[in-house]
Chain A
Amino acid sequence: MFNLVKIDIRRLLKSRNFYIMLAVTAGLLMMLVCLVSAIADPETMDAMQAQGAEVTAYDLEMSQQIHNMPSLDFIHECLSSGFLLIITGIGMSIQVSGDFSSGYIKNICFARPRRRDYVISKILLAGVYSAAITAAGIVFALVSPVFFGLRPAASPILSILQYAFWRWLPSWAVGLMALSLAALTRSSVLGITLSVLSGGGVIAELTALICQRFHWPALEQYLLGSLARSQPIPLPGPQQMAMILGCSIGWAAVYTIGSLLSMEKRDI
């Protein structure tokens, strides 16, 4: 088991896909911060007014808000769109399906015949992968404002760590979704598609529509995409913490069982 985890981490650190995902995370955050800084920049406002654009009191207030924002709130504004879920889902789909497309799964299952060892090692890999992407997202969101002339007020490190944990949990569960779909289909296509739809909120929207149509309770709130997107403030309250914890663990359990069944029932 330990050997399997070791080779997973080693391969992760050697794989180009992982660094591409980190670069995409950095690139997207840079673009986002660039846009935010442009909105918050008084010179841009003046230039817009000179061009005939209407700058309202609300715009000025928002600019002021951005300048006075604590760094934790700034990170939250950058990361609350659900794109960390998308990045983790895509990355894990590629990473796991690579075992099948390359045929290396034959070596793994020959050397380690207990299929559950493979699944457990990938659960840990999903944890590491999502943690790395979450940490990278937070670090980039912390650092990049400096390059665009923004100086958010420092937030306590403990709050940032807490925030990272609650961001990481749904991402990890999405990583497990990617694992179960790759183990089932032996391909990355479905995992990538569902990661994009889930992180982008499409599945939650569809579920909400269906629930409304049939007068069901709002089931969409329990979806991973909703958990990542619906947090109004950076640090969740006790009720929302319980919701994130319960739903993430619940979905993680579903995807783990799915992965185990796929691996145990299907021949290599």
Chain B
Amino acid sequence: MAVIQTMGLSKRYRDKWAVDHLDLQVEQGDIYGFIGQNGAGKSTTLKLLCGLVRPTQGEAVIFGRPIRDAAARRRVGALIEQPGLYPDLSGRENLLLYAALLGLDSPRRQVDEILNTVGLPAAEEKPVKHYSMGMKQRLGVGLVLLGGPDLLLLDEPINGLDPEGIREMRELLLHLNRERGLTILVSSHILGELSKIATRYGIIQQGRMVEQITAGELEQKCADYLHLRADLPQKAAALLERELRLTRWEMRPEGEIRIYEAVDAKAVGQVLTQAGIAVEEMSLHRQDLEGYFLERMGGEKHV
């Protein structure tokens, strides 16, 4: 079941499309890693999904209902950019205010439970402005957990955290997903971290969805492959397919042949040489997740 579905969702600021006909689908139980360069449109997409920004075109549904539907929104918790917290109030007071805003029953009990879940002391009275970045981020996650949502929208929740804070956040998100069954859409540009938790990925570039892929499919795509460049690539590929009975291979636009199954490089060379096809390059290649995403996002630019 699709928890989030967008159809041609678009947002234009003056003459620039921040989000451009985006089709995104998040399934129940996913940890959806939303990946893109700075300015690719991740935060705007999340703001559109939260109703903080109005779409120029297209629509989005959450739990099968329009995003402005009150019943659907009650099932969503959202942390967009920095956590929205009053700096002069304590963490507990910030949560109590939000609980009052949501009209929760027995807010004090719920707030204490949430503080316990995110690992913050309930008796902490110091104002939020004196919190560390990690404490603020955990409090931000606590804020979105109020009201018992089924879906979390988290925009860069590990930004600015130290390695210990990142690990704690990762464990918290995994716990919420596995133990409580929450669906989580998390945007980040720290790909290594995202790859440790995500079950599905969406890659966005210049406001457009480049690819949506499950973690399993990604694993397959990132498998070892034999990289080959040969004279007459079309002929070489057809020959190898026939002679070596290859099933998993692809021809890249620039004439590169990638063979994804176990194959003897020496045999490949022999087949091609015997057919009079010159081998220009041949090597074994292992692509990591980061490499894959960078490639899909159009090069080795900063992500």
Contact = CB atoms under 8 A, between A and B. Distances in A.
Given A102-B86, A103-B85, A104-B86, A267 B103 contact: no
Nearest to B102: A111
A105 to B, nearest CB: 7
Contact of A107 (B51, B84, B88): B84
B101 A108 contact: yes
B288 interface: no
Interface in A90-115: 98, 102-113
Interface string B100-130: 1111000000000000000000000000000
B51 A113 contact: yes
B86 A11 contact: yes
Contacts of B97: 7, 10-11
A104 B88 contact: no
Q: Which of A6, A7, A98, A110 is packed against the most chain B CB atoms within 10 Å? A: A110
B87 A107 contact: no
Interface string B149-175: 000000000000000000000000000
Nearest to B87: A102
A148 B175 CA distance: 66
Given A110-B78, A267-B52, A11 B101 contact: no
A4 B98 CA distance: 10
Given A102-B84, A268-B53, A107 B143 contact: yes
Given A3-B101, A3-B102, A10-B97, A109 B51 contact: yes
Interface string B51-81: 1111000000000000010100100001011
A106 B89 contact: no
Main secondary structure on B side of the interface with A: loop
Contacts, number: 71
A47 to B, nearest CB: 46
How many chain B residues sit at the interface, stated as a range, is 20 to 34
B224 interface: no
Contacts of B73: 110-111, 113
A111 B98 contact: yes
Contact of A103 (B70, B83, B88, B98): B83
A113 B93 contact: no
Given A15-B88, A16-B88, A102-B85, A107 B98 contact: yes
A267 B43 CA distance: 13
A6 B54 CA distance: 27
A106 B52 contact: yes
Given A15-B88, A103-B81, A103-B85, A267 B100 contact: no
Contact of A268 (B52, B82, B86): B52
B50 interface: yes
B91 to A, nearest CB: 13
A107 B82 contact: no
A267 B98 contact: no
A7 B84 CA distance: 15
Interface string A1-32: 00110110011001111000000000000000
Contacts of A7: 97, 100-101
A112 B147 CA distance: 14
Contacts of A267: 47, 52-54
Interface of B: 47, 50-54, 68, 70, 73, 78, 80-89, 93, 96-98, 100-103, 143
Interface of A: 3-4, 6-7, 10-11, 14-17, 98, 102-113, 267-268
Given A98-B86, A109-B51, 5 more contacts: A3-B103, A11-B97, A14-B88, A15-B86, A113-B70
27 contacts: A3-B100, A3-B102, A6-B100, A7-B101, A10-B97, A14-B88, A14-B93, A15-B86, A16-B88, A17-B88, A102-B85, A102-B86, A102-B87, A103-B83, A107-B98, A109-B51, A109-B52, A110-B50, A110-B51, A110-B52, A110-B73, A111-B101, A113-B73, A267-B47, A267-B52, A267-B54, A268-B52
